[in-house]
Structure 1
Amino acid sequence: MVTQSAAGRRRTFAIISHPDAGKTTITEKLLLLGGAIQSAGTVKARKSARHARSDWMEIEKQRGISVTSSVMQFDYHDYTVNLLDTPGHEDFSEDTYRTLTAVDSALMVIDAAKGVEDRTVKLMEICRLRDTPIITFINKLDRESRDPLELLDEIESVLNISCAPVTWPISSGKTFGGIYDFERGQVQLYRDRDTPSPPWYALDAPELESEISLYRDDLATEIELVQGAGTTFDLDEFRAGRQTPVFFGTALRGFGVREMLDRFVEIAPPPQPRETLTRVVSADEKPFTGFVFKIQANMDPAHRDRVAFLRICSGRYKSGARVRHVRAGRDIQLSNALTFMAGERERADEALPGDILGIHNHGTIQIGDTFTEGEDLQFTGIPYFAPELFRRVVLRDPMKNKALLKGLQQLSEEGATQFFRPLRNNDLVLGAVGVLQFDVVAWRLQNEYNVEASFEPVNVHTVRWVAAEDPAELERFRQKSADNIAEDSSGALAYLAPTRVNLGLIEERWPELTFFATREHAVSNA
């Protein structure tokens, strides 16, 4: 059995937020606290030529947004923390969804001036599906902010989760004075600069007289109000996903982040049980199991490599271990697995439940694949979603068709876009959730595969994957509707509907078939 002293001290979590709430900045501060990096650059500080460490892909550096998920591991106190940074842009929600299947908790970052925003609502809906425990950090208190009580009310009413304040802000913006810690019963004063560990003071300490004298009465009233009417932190409620501990601060100045991280490693759950098609796998089981939640092409452009990100669910990985690739039905040796620090990586000699491994992939591994020591298991809950936008791929140089197909295939394996090949023509149709994904694909095709391609409208409204219990019925449908039938990058049959009305008519006409708006990775719907 894996010991509690090892696997039980793993903390695997993701950061979720609306774009520009400060997710990348808080990621850097966490890495600094963990000693994983020595200095932080910010995406907006263009003149410094340093970019945020978690935004490692070139197009991310240019645009200042995260469009892929980065994996970063660091040690903090007696814990090993696995931080999965997710895309903040809504066009890459599938990548975020799959990343959230690989974590045991999440840190929600909220802009103190803007409160709960649309993207945050959608991400919380995803977390709700697995009752993921949520810690909240209300950011940017060094700027003018909304009333903290109003922010808590909004979180509770919009996100349907109870708030338990752990720290409390003293004013905001130019008059931001610091935070009060309910458990300590003390105040930490804010300084407009990074301070390694600012001191704490009792509420009646003389040091506070000149610093927050104008706000002391208001602070005392707010503390009394929160303690009287507010919710006290309950570990069981938090781990059940019904309550969120709330911290205040400013990630840009590193203020309030250490206090949040100190509490996070104490209260966040260790690696949790995982469902498969046949049973639940516990993290303390001895046999090795894990699943692939992400594939990233060209992390090292010099080698045109593909890396599969595998979340370990149970057991222990040791370099050279032989494992069963369940979908492929074969055993492979994991001799060069990787650990990550954003775009940098190193060989992993050992890894435990909760850890994320990188496996070199030569086109045989897919998102959703399960690896075991021999047991026939399939972890669940990692879906493809039907794309909402479609474009026909236009190749500028016909001589580059082979390179184009390779690029589209490999990029679609990452899951942010989906690639369809109609049966009746040579069109290449790309499906995506948002317009930005097409820009990213065009950029990556040119920079990573030396292929210049553009996209034009195509008469596709939506797509449905098709399955049937009777193979003969499926073949009849394939023949009768061939003009609208395509195969996706994995070879699965899909119907490309030109209109919503057309899809409804087809579903009525073929009652023996099932039309799926989602498809489990690595699992057939048939």
Structure 2
Amino acid sequence: MTSVNIGILAHVDAGKTSLTERLLHTAGVIDRVGSVDRGDTQTDSHELERQRGITIRSAVVSFTVGDVKVNLIDTPGHPDFISEVERALSVLDGVVLVVSAVEGVQAQTRLLMRTLVKMRIPVILFVNKIDRMGARYDDLLDEIRSELSPAVVPLTRVEGIGTAEARAITRTVGPDDPEFAAELADVLAEHGDEFLARYLDDEAALTARDYTEELARQACRAQLYPVLFGSAVADAGIGALVDGITGLFPVNHGGADGTLHGTVFKIERGWAGEKVAYVRLRSGTLGPRSKVSVFRRDPHGAVLELPGRTTVVEVFDRGSAMVEAQARAGDIAKVWGLKGIRIGDRLGSAEGLDGEHLFAPPSLETVIRPARHGAMPELYDALLQLADQDPFINVRKDDEEQEISVSLYGEVQKEVIAATLADDYKLDVVFEGTRIICVERPIGVGESVEEIDYRSKTFFWATVGLRVEPGEPGSGVVFRRSVELGSLPHAFHKAVEEAVRATLQQGLNGWEVLDILVTLTHTGFASPVSAAGDFRKLTPLVLMNALKQAGTQVYEPVNRFELEVPAENASTVLLNLVECGATPETTRGQGSSCLVEGIIPARTVQEFEQRLPGLSQGEGMLVTRFHSFQPAVGPVPSRRRTDLNPVDRKEYMLRAFGRI
């Protein structure tokens, strides 16, 4: 049996989950269409999702159409959970991007479409809610062409749009729709030279099948984007969408040939607390009680190969039901037994480990404390388990201050973490205020050397010299050597590099240091006294001394924003944007709304979000995403250190030798 893995993406409230329910009902998987309002949908199975009426974690369901098995991943629409979307995109064959026929193209829709175009993932645009008052057709198509892509082809037309009797009618090449062939040919000719030649040579000789096959070929290559209209609630246009999913997306043929290659895109916990990995297989097979190599990159960029053994392998059958079976290419499997598995790991092959992040990591953080005295260890363990499901929360523990911090995309995510800890771990927590995550970059050159002193008491039997200087923008941390590799045992070289990278997690002001070039200039050891620990402990002191000489500049995150507000409120909203430090770059009207794009400091986003409802009569919509780091304005922001503090030599020595 062939298979296709699809995702349903949308701006929040466009109807993703309702569409998933309708597809399952159409395929005969469920007898009754679930409702988000009732909290009885197949994919929003977590109690918190039912309470809030939003998708928080991606969920997988399966259904069969003819001889094609469709694995469907329902993803969150709220921007605070964009990391869930990123992980899902890495395993998809195609995406159904849902647009509301009433609200039209929204800020999150534009962000998602840009990402899909960049990744060259095939996309079908499904315009939902054609039965709602205010639904649009012609002007919405114009909006889609201008806001998302000009390479779109409407494959359905609508009768009775905006009424309860609205229905979607499939367009076909033939006498019933004479304009469709010309419209379709214009788009197909852009990327199909052979089709264009045949069209110009003898247009009349082209059959409806010729048009359909060329449409499918270009859609599979993400060269054009079919548009279908319908209503998930009213069951309109769903048949055409099902045909599009099985006919316009590339399918997997489920062969067992080839080397095992799978991607771990989700981790959850089983009933006994064990890790369960969701794996998309691209080639080979994976069965129970099988030895498997797990590949990942360590913090320094090296590829690690780790042994593993599966205990149970299940594949999706009907809906969310699972059956034990050997997974084949194209399948999405749940795998038990891989104890140290992480999101992003590759099974059987290291191919794909170099993939870049599609969306920026969180630019906010907060301190979280347990409400109950003495529950800090329980909270830390619980957060580490949540980090298995979402590595971007980046749990940091400060043992001295007895506090834990986590990274965030927004305030809704904070509420979800609190509710999850209360419901699943019986832990009530208190959050401090949200703060931005800055970075530091060197602004000059600094050099420092510390050598073994045989004439007086020495604390470290190691000689280390380091030079720091600004690196290329976007280079992160680059470590190189100007000494011969054989000047030290390999273990000592490794200890120096690992210490450099670990120390630069907290610069002079406590922020991660990026875009820095660190050169090892001096080395020395005293055999057999020297040990790797001497180099690991001395390196932070040398590095921070060099960094003090070079100096650092603190940079704060700046977000790009897209804002949609009623036109009559635009001037007041723009004034408040400027008061929050934003720089509006473009402003344009769209019907009765005003669209504003620009950049805004991440530190003021929350303040503006709180103002927006009152400024826009509750109709304003703001989406932000990380844009860049820019020099911090005002007093230099700093963060309390959680290491041994090599910036202060005296304190560091006392801590390193256990005096504090």
TM-score normalised by structure 2 residue count: 0.60
Q: Which residue of 445, 451, 454 corresponds with 2:427?
A: 451
Partners of 1:448 and 1:382 in 2: CA distance: 32
2:220 is matched with which residue?
A: 239
Structure 2 distance, partners of 1:421, 1:26, is: 42
Which of 325, 342, 358 is the matching residue for 2:294?
Answer: 325
In structure 1, the partner of 2:126 is 137
Supply the AA of the counterpart residue of 1:38.
Answer: D
Q: Quote how far apart the aligned CAs of 1:340 are.
A: 4.3
For the residues of structure 2 that align with 1:12 and 1:401, how far apart are their CA atoms?
Answer: 41
**CA offset at residue 80 of structure 1?**
0.8
Aligned to 1:17: 10
What is the alpha-carbon distance in structure 1 between the residues aligned to residue 173 and residue 68 of structure 2? Answer: 23
Does residue 1:288 correspond to 2:269, yes or no?
no
Secondary structure in 1 aligned to 2:403?
coil
Q: In structure 1, what residue type is equivalent to 2:216?
A: L
The 2-side partners of 1:283 and 1:352 are apart by: 6
Deviations 1:131-175 (A, max 9, x none): 000011111111134442222221121112411121111131226
Cα distance change of structure 1 residues 288 and 497 upon mapping to structure 2, 3 Å threshold: farther
Runs of 5+ in structure 1 lacking a partner? 1-5, 187-202, 204-222, 273-281, 488-492, 507-526
Q: Given the superposition, is the C-alpha separation of residues 361 and 110 from structure 1 closer, same or farther in structure 2, using an over 3 Å criterion?
A: farther
Matched, 1:391 2:360: no
Shift of 1:347: 4.0
Question: Is residue 36 of structure 1 aligned with residue 32 of structure 2?
Answer: no
User: Which among 282, 304, 326 is matched to residue 313 of structure 1?
Assistant: 282
Please name the residue that 1:435 is paired with.
Answer: 411
Is the alpha carbon distance of 1:320 and 1:185 closer, same or farther for their aligned partners in structure 2, counting shifts above 3 Å? Answer: farther
TM-superposed CA distance for 1:33, in Å, is 2.2
Deviation for aligned residue 1:387: 1.2
**Cα distance in 1 for residues equivalent to 2:424 and 2:77:** 23
- Please state if 1:369 is matched with 2:336: no
**Conservation of the 8 A alpha-carbon contact between 1:112 and 1:138:** yes
On the 8 A contact 1:90/1:119 being kept in 2, the answer is yes
For residues 115 and 321 of structure 1, what CA distance do their matches in structure 2 show? Answer: 49
Q: 1:307 to 1:382 in 2, by over 3 A?
A: farther
- Assess if the C-alpha contact under 8 Å between 1:33 and 1:76 holds in 2: no
Structure 1 residues 85-109: Cα deviation after superposition (integer angstroms, max 9, x where no partner) = 1011111001101101110100111
Q: For the Cα contact (< 8 Å) 1:271–1:354, is it kept in 2?
A: yes
Judging changes above 3 Å, is the alpha-carbon distance between structure 1 residues 459 and 159 closer, same or farther for their aligned structure 2 residues?
Answer: closer
Quote how far apart the aligned CAs of 1:466 are. 5.7
Structure 2 CA distance for partners of 1:122 and 1:341, relative to 1, 3 Å? farther
Structure 1 residues 63-117: Cα deviation after superposition (integer angstroms, max 9, x where no partner): 0000110011221111011101101111100110110111010011111112111
Distance 1:340 1:59 in 2: 24
Match runs of 1:163-174 below 5 Å: 163-174=152-163
* C-alpha deviation, 1:481, in angstroms: 3.1
Contact 2:126 2:230 in 1 (8 A): yes
Partner amino acid, structure 1, of 2:265:
F
The equivalent of 2:83 in structure 1 is: 94
Alpha-carbon distance in 2 for matches of 1:284, 1:130: 27
Partner of 2:43: 54
Alignment of 1:412-431 (within 5 A): 412-415=387-390, 417-422=393-398, 425-431=401-407
Matching residue of 2:355: 381
What CA distance in whole angstroms lies between the structure 2 residues aligned with 1:138 and 1:360?
Answer: 39
Give the TM-score normalised by the residue count of structure 1: 0.75
Residue 264 (structure 1) aligned with residue 245 (structure 2): yes
Q: 1:229 to 1:330 in 2, by over 3 A?
A: closer
Aligned-residue sequence identity (percent) comes to 26
Other-structure match for 2:556: 500
Over 3 Å counting, the alpha-carbon distance change for 1:185 and 1:305 in structure 2 is farther
Paired with 1:326 and 1:441, the residues of 2 have a C-alpha distance of 29
Letter in 2 for 1:481: G
Supply the distance in 2 between the matched residues of 1:497 and 1:441 (Cα, whole angstroms).
Answer: 33
The residue type equivalent to 2:315 in the other structure is T
1:513 maps to which residue? none
Given the alignment, which residue of 7, 20, 30 partners 1:27?
Answer: 20
Q: Deviations over 1:222-269 (max 9, x none)?
A: x55555445466223212212111111111021210221023202210
SS class of match (1:399): coil
Deviation at 1:345, TM superposition (A): 4.7
Does residue 1:180 correspond to 2:154, yes or no?
no
Q: Looking at CA atoms only, which structure, 1 or 2, has the larger radius of gyration?
A: 2
Q: What amino acid does structure 2 have at the position aligned with 1:500?
A: E
Residue of structure 2 equivalent to 1:110: 99
Which of these residues, 484, 492, 505, is aligned with residue 510 of structure 2? Answer: 484
**Cα distance, 1:316 vs structure 2:** 2.0
Alignment of 1:337-356 (within 5 A): 337-340=313-316, 344-356=320-332
Tell me how far 1:424 sits from its aligned partner. Answer: 6.8
Deviates more, 1:396-405 or 1:133-142: 396-405
1:462 to 1:236, Cα distance in 2 relative to 1, 3 A: farther
Deviations 1:413-451 (A, max 9, x none): 212522223587543111011211111111111111121
Work out which structure has the larger RCO, using CA pairs closer than 8 Å and 6 or more positions apart in sequence: 1
Change (3 A) 1:105 1:331: same
Question: In the alignment, what sits opposite 2:383?
Answer: 408
Partner of 2:477: 467
Contact 2:73 2:88 in 1 (8 A): yes
DSSP-derived class of the 2:375 partner: helix
Name 1:248's counterpart in structure 2. 229
